Each structure stands twice: as structure tokens, then as C-alpha cells.
Amino acid sequence: MGRTSKDKRDVYYRLAKENGWRARSAFKLLQLNEEFRLFEGVTRAVDLCAAPGSWSQVLSQKIGSPQGSGHVVAVDLQAMAPLPGVLQIQGDITQLSTAEDIIRHFEGCPADLVVCDGAPDVTGLHEVDEYLQAQLLLAALNIAAHVLKPGGCFVAKIFRGRDVTLIYSQLHVFFSSVLCAKPRSSRKASSEAFAVCQGYDPPEGFLPDLTKPLLDPSYSRDLNQSDGPTRSIVPFVTCGDLSSYDSDLSYPLDLEDGSEPKYTPTHTGPHLAPVPAGLHIEEEGAAGQGDPSPGLRHQHSGHIVPAPGCPTATP
């Protein structure tokens, strides 16, 4: 077993092939779910930037099925091969029409969960790539603001670059809890992580509008800061049990006992309190300073109004 960062076909790639996942990213969502129980009580989920579709596969297995009550809507610029139980929209997440299409597919009912594993084409220039990723995340947040129920959850890929604290501040405007999580299947060498935002709770009077910058000063005021006393420092959580495979190691095709590598999901408890064995938690942002969450609270407002017959939101 050796360490390599060049081995693109790592153990998760092989496990994905063996288990019929369309991409190794499936394990990232599975490991995030093990930690945060993202799918509990979810009947409507939106997968933004979904192609080739491994996150949609996970969502359809966990919450949706052709016969079941769950509904999954997947959106991507690219066409995607059909998946049972997943309704697909070929569209751009920066467009208002995409949010409207999603709402139409849910027949006016709000979503419980919005996930986004979106990635723009990489330029190789770190700062440009981080900026583009942040813009995509904000586009996803904008869609979430149109479709998410109060108390709903939003998970999005983030690059932990220099200005990530500003994004955390922005997310804190809309969610009561914001964390940064790194699944074990995400390579350590990559600055990729996932913002896990729970408790959708936009500022009073906020009306989702893709034409308006999210950070309207009337909603965010002092929060739009990447430094200073009101900056957001969020907890950083690694997820996926330590006994699960490490994406930065290579493993033999056959294990010593002759068996093939297998992914064994673990079921760690709710995040942060108490800290499950094998979890490493540290602060993300400005290390070691202050309260990790400024504890913002706003009155619910500006959500889409549930259509008659939609279940009441359970935060």
C-alpha cells in the first residue's frame, strides 16, 4: 500500500465501477450523509450540476424511486443518461428559468434538500478557479433560495481558498448552521470541501431574485466581511470513518485476505456533539478565533409559498 497523489484510479474509482456508480463522487455524498444524515425526512431533493449523475443515483436510492414518494430533480448544462426516479433538466444554474423549472416539477412544493457538486472548467490558475467555483456556489445558493423550504438543507462544493471566509459569511446570512466538511473520499491534496448549510432561514424581507446580488447590504450589513470581528469562522469536519478507504493511498486489487475492497458505510451520530470516534474537528477560516458561528437568526420570509397539499415544513 503506497501513497500516491497521481493515481487517478484510486480505490474509490474502482469501488464506483464495481458498485455501478457513475462517478467516484458518489462516495463523497454518502460520507457526508453518514455524518450529517442529510436524507432524513427528505422527500424532495434537487441535485444541481448533476452530470454524469452519481449524486442523483445516491439521492434516488435514498429518497426517491419510481414507486416511492421521494422526488429528485437533477440539473446540468450537459445531457445525462436517464436514471429511474430522477427528473432531469438540461439547464444552467445561473438562470432564473432553471429555478422556475424545478418549482414546476415539484408542483409548487418546496424542496427539503439542495445539493451542488458543480465545478466550472478548471483554468489551472488557482485564484481564478477559486473565484469561478465561488460564483457557481452563489448561483446554486440563489437557486436554493428559490426552491428550499424553511429549515431546509443546502450542500455545495467549495474550494478552501483565501477568501472562503467571505463565502461562509454569505451562507450564514441564509442558514442557521454552516460547516465545512471534507469526506475521506475527497483527495487531501485538493482544496475541495463541502459547505453543509442547515436550517434555511433567510433574512426578513428577502425576496429571491437572480438579478439582484445576494449580498444586498440591507440584508447582510456587517456580515459581508472576510476579516474583522464579524467574519464567519465555521467548524471543519472530516467525515467518513477512519476505517474507510483513504483517497490518497493506493490499495491492492485484492486485499490480503483475498477479498475485493468494499465500501462499508458507517453510521456516526449527529455531527459535532459528541464528536464520534475517528473524527477530526478543527476550525476553518481564521483558526482559533472567536465563536465559530455568529449565531445569526432571522425571521422566516421570502420562501416560496407551499402549494396547497404540500406538507408543512419541519425545520
List contacts with ligand SAM (CB under 6 A): 22-23, 25-26, 49-55, 75-78, 92-94, 117-120, 136
Of 28 and 303, CB closest to ligand SAM: 28
205 is in an annotated binding site: no
Separation between Cα atoms, residue 314 and residue 152, nearest integer Å: 8
Backbone conformation region of residue 249, classed left if phi is above 0, alpha if psi is from -120 to 50, else beta: beta
Separation between Cα atoms, residue 50 and residue 118, nearest integer Å: 7
Query: Does 262 qualify as catalytic in the annotation?
Result: no
Given the residues 28, 62, 149, 157, select the one marked as catalytic.
Answer: 157
Q: State in angstroms the smallest separation of the CB of 120 from ligand SAM.
A: 6
Of 73 and 93, CB closest to ligand SAM: 93
Q: State in angstroms the smallest separation of the CB of 72 from ligand SAM.
A: 13
Of 11 and 233, CB closest to ligand SAM: 11
53 is in an annotated binding site: yes
Beta strand ranges found along the chain (DSSP E)? 44-48, 71-76, 86-90, 111-116, 148-159, 175-183, 192-200, 234-239, 281-284
Instruction: Give the C-alpha distances (Å, rounded to integers) separating 289 from 169, 222, 226, 236, 292.
Output: 15, 18, 13, 13, 8
Q: State in angstroms the smallest separation of the CB of 116 from ligand SAM.
A: 8
Of 117 and 241, CB closest to ligand SAM: 117
Residue 186 burial (10 A CB sphere; 0-12, 13-18, 19+):
buried
Q: State in angstroms the smallest separation of the CB of 70 from ligand SAM.
A: 18
Q: Which residues are catalytic?
A: 157
Q: Which residues are annotated as a binding site?
A: 53, 55, 76, 92, 117
Binding residues for S-adenosyl-L-methionine: 53, 55, 76, 92, 117
